Structure 1
């Protein structure tokens, strides 16, 4: 595998994903990992991430200097390159001109790390420091108009550094550079495949679970559905899927989900109708965080009650993904600035909020995977495209797409409006061009006129966005005709709505969801 040592970069997770795209396994680890611990992990290569600090700051995170002597190929990215230069005897100072955004890369040595990286290709820069003096044994591989040392190497020791971010999509030949490091320099084999993962996971599930029973909370999303398919293939009738209908799903989704699993997939699902309980919990509640807290607490209560009724169970299966493991891990925060400087991956990961007395052992077969890898696994084991390519849907459901208090009336309005959005983006064949597409109900009313009569009704906000991974997003430039059709249908077909608006805010500064 390739390990990524994290110094607090927003792109550390993305580096890991790019490595996985080459069919080589990768993990993100803390900068506090010692050289001895790295040796025990036995990676084929090491990548040092970027980070928000300057290497000459007193609070700047440092890696164990012994890693330079492990004999393992190392690639430093941005801050990682600067740290390599500094710790090996070079000099890093604040640049006369900072460099952010796109820059043309001029290749001085088109071999080794920069094989097939085209002359003048665009790379993504994000740095205010510069390497003024290189350590002994290093040479310049590439430069930009503003950065003399844009890529460097000590070929003999297999130490490399780049001042740009090859992992982002804006870096045109970035993946070629990553492949050079993974295959040519680290001599990795492309063994991280979907088929291998499925085969190993089934073997591990059977070995861990044995003849015991497993309970899975099914939501209908790609994660829990893929997990259900994988578990059922591994242990069959030892699996019990529980679907808790909290009343905040889209129109017709609970019925469609149950029909798919019971009639088409022949996987038994226990249906729990808890709509009234959840709605009662949100009576008079407008604060989004309090809504989330109450929904989560009630879900745990219902889950606990029903698991005792259906039990006993020895194992609880969770659709924990690798980003969950990273993001829920301990975060090291600088006490002076409050900035995140690095993450530390825990040896185990429990979903927060589960009561301790549930006494389940956890089964998390997907915890090594990113979202796109889960989709590949789901597709490979027979999950239908309508689930594999389903847009992300928040756990609290429509409750956080109703701004303010959630009522039965507002839920019905939003369900009907949301159905129109889904129908039209599918009819116009743009569903798979979008990351998400949904409606939001605002807790205000505006004046309108319908049939020569004054109306005073709710507005609906359309949120159609494009994204690579949900970390950043942009509003979708869909045809005006499509927006017009959606608007006309909602106003004419959804009682209680007289106005439709389109959200053209990107992320950042906005978020994808409104709450």
Structure 2
């Protein structure tokens, strides 16, 4: 959460470098996680937060001075795909070990510590990937109170064969002679396994021991606890200025809008842009809820023709995102001019948006989110982003704290560019969007009827630019293919495809083909993240 003002041109420059800072809430302890490129790095920060300690993921090369500036209670070094002996592999800044705070190395982070401090790390003949058995020989501080035999999740090829001098080897696994070590005197700890994944049953216990027992951090932070502080920050940032909010009706923008409205009341005006890319009847539902239920000033703009004209002939996904993001801002500017002298723009930017949009040096840009990487350089508003430090489930906790209804709080994520990025490989025409909208309505209806909506992180349809031959009523058809995508996840950083019941899938496919004349084939996407993303574009 940033407590300084950020103009769009400034934000664009910062995102190209290290992104606008995400500051921790005041009066809470923090543990910094340094990212060495591991697939579970973001999940480490998430699990630390679940333990009650605020945590942020920083690139591994930020330097000891930046870590010192944050005054954390401890430091965690993440895993990573490299070998510690490979040319160009990420290295450990030795000054990080001189900060006077406890350090925990996980997987690659442990190997870096072992190598730097005089232990023996070598490439093993056999890698260790997936579930493994951990044997605790000497529990020490880090593994105290845990079973001597326990399951854990491994993902490595290099292995620590000898702990550094002065360190105690705590445990071993099938392929790791030293799977954990510690030096309580130096405050340095290492584990080869991944405590952050659910496949390590005692992983959270290990993290809690490190955070509370070793670092002495207060395990009191929660997403809901930041509401009061954010209200104060919003008031300090905007003063008596006019503020507008781009309201989509999704969880993120809705929580951001209600939070800002609690802070500044009718200084806030929400602008809802119906760009023709929403789900069936969604626009009417949003307008009714915010005008009648919350009493928040709302301007509804019918801009479907405008957006579809801009998207005409465009099939490349990043181009779609940039066009939609820029057009949103243009609409905001026009409506703001009608409202009055609006200076600030509220956005429901999340921490996962920042990470996936390359919001940090060394972070890969997976896709630009229109509220992060998709902003135009000449944006005329300063940004208010009260959710920037939070993951999605933390935003839901804030929404519940604010009293938002359960149906809204638990609404599945919906991308800012809407259905345009679910018409894949082709132009998002009115006809294709209508087909996709109707297919999605059938999917959501059946998912809810089956009582599975809350069990899924997301469920939606994709309409590829593909037609296939079919037979309906003894006649040849040449219709669209609808792809069903349903995933389970904790925070959208990783996701698994949902095992929907066969009879449910059959019912969904039957309805789509019978009710939608343009559709003659339905398929199921069974790709997890990684290697795929949740959205196709």
TM-score under structure 2 normalisation? 0.88
Alignment match of 1:204 (pick from 233, 237, 242): 233
Shift of 1:111: 4.2
Alignment match of 2:417 (pick from 396, 417, 435): 396
The answer to whether residue 106 in structure 2 is matched with residue 77 in structure 1 is yes
Task: Pick closer, same or farther for the CA change 1:173–1:483 going to 2, 3 Å.
Answer: same
Shift of 1:453: 4.1
> What is the DSSP-based 3-state SS (H/G/I as helix, E as strand, rest coil) of the residue aligned with 2:411?
coil
Superimposed CA distance per residue, residues 91-150 of structure 1 (whole angstroms, 9 cap, x where no aligned partner): 322123221111110011234211243232211111111223322210111111211100
Shift of 1:69: 2.9
**In 2, Cα distance between equivalents of 1:356 and 1:417:** 36
Give the aligned partner of residue 329 of structure 1.
Answer: 359
> What is the DSSP-based 3-state SS (H/G/I as helix, E as strand, rest coil) of the residue aligned with 1:300?
helix
- Contact 2:488/2:496 (<8 A) preserved: yes
- Contact 2:135/2:172 (<8 A) preserved: yes
Shift of 1:83: 1.3
Shift of 1:288: 2.7
- Contact 2:272/2:301 (<8 A) preserved: yes
> What is the DSSP-based 3-state SS (H/G/I as helix, E as strand, rest coil) of the residue aligned with 1:423?
helix
Give the aligned partner of residue 513 of structure 1.
Answer: 535
Task: Pick closer, same or farther for the CA change 1:503–1:33 going to 2, 3 Å.
Answer: closer
- 1:79-478 equivalences under 5 Å are 79-327=108-356, 328-332=358-362, 351-403=372-424, 404-478=426-500
Task: Pick closer, same or farther for the CA change 1:409–1:324 going to 2, 3 Å.
Answer: closer
> What is the DSSP-based 3-state SS (H/G/I as helix, E as strand, rest coil) of the residue aligned with 2:174?
coil
Unpaired segments of 5 or more residues in structure 2? 1-29
| Aligned residue-pair number | 502
**In 2, Cα distance between equivalents of 1:350 and 1:63:** 34
> What is the DSSP-based 3-state SS (H/G/I as helix, E as strand, rest coil) of the residue aligned with 1:38?
helix
> What is the DSSP-based 3-state SS (H/G/I as helix, E as strand, rest coil) of the residue aligned with 1:172?
coil
The 10-residue stretch of structure 1 (286-295 or 209-218) with the greater mean CA deviation from structure 2: 286-295
Shift of 1:353: 4.4
Unpaired segments of 5 or more residues in structure 1? 334-339, 343-348
Shift of 1:504: 2.8
> What is the DSSP-based 3-state SS (H/G/I as helix, E as strand, rest coil) of the residue aligned with 2:477?
strand
Task: Pick closer, same or farther for the CA change 1:146–1:428 going to 2, 3 Å.
Answer: same
Task: Pick closer, same or farther for the CA change 1:159–1:23 going to 2, 3 Å.
Answer: same
- Contact 1:141/1:152 (<8 A) preserved: yes
Task: Pick closer, same or farther for the CA change 1:469–1:34 going to 2, 3 Å.
Answer: closer
> What is the DSSP-based 3-state SS (H/G/I as helix, E as strand, rest coil) of the residue aligned with 1:189?
coil
**In 1, Cα distance between equivalents of 2:101 and 2:239:** 39
Whose relative contact order is higher, 1 or 2, with alpha carbons under 8 Å and at least 6 apart? 2
Task: Pick closer, same or farther for the CA change 1:441–1:29 going to 2, 3 Å.
Answer: closer
The 10-residue stretch of structure 1 (490-499 or 374-383) with the greater mean CA deviation from structure 2: 490-499
Superimposed CA distance per residue, residues 213-234 of structure 1 (whole angstroms, 9 cap, x where no aligned partner): 1111111111111001100111
Shift of 1:236: 0.5
- Contact 1:116/1:176 (<8 A) preserved: no
Superimposed CA distance per residue, residues 402-454 of structure 1 (whole angstroms, 9 cap, x where no aligned partner): 23122222222211111111111101101111121112223333343444444
- Contact 1:316/1:363 (<8 A) preserved: yes
Give the aligned partner of residue 15 of structure 2.
Answer: none
Shift of 1:25: 0.9
Superimposed CA distance per residue, residues 443-472 of structure 1 (whole angstroms, 9 cap, x where no aligned partner): 333343444444332232222222333333
Task: Pick closer, same or farther for the CA change 1:159–1:174 going to 2, 3 Å.
Answer: same
**In 1, Cα distance between equivalents of 2:210 and 2:336:** 49
The 10-residue stretch of structure 1 (179-188 or 56-65) with the greater mean CA deviation from structure 2: 56-65
Task: Pick closer, same or farther for the CA change 1:432–1:196 going to 2, 3 Å.
Answer: closer
Superimposed CA distance per residue, residues 287-333 of structure 1 (whole angstroms, 9 cap, x where no aligned partner): 33333333233223222222222231122222222233344334349
**In 1, Cα distance between equivalents of 2:305 and 2:463:** 21
**In 2, Cα distance between equivalents of 1:126 and 1:187:** 29
**In 1, Cα distance between equivalents of 2:58 and 2:518:** 52
The 10-residue stretch of structure 1 (485-494 or 252-261) with the greater mean CA deviation from structure 2: 485-494
Superimposed CA distance per residue, residues 165-198 of structure 1 (whole angstroms, 9 cap, x where no aligned partner): 1111211111110011011111111221234201
Task: Pick closer, same or farther for the CA change 1:60–1:444 going to 2, 3 Å.
Answer: closer
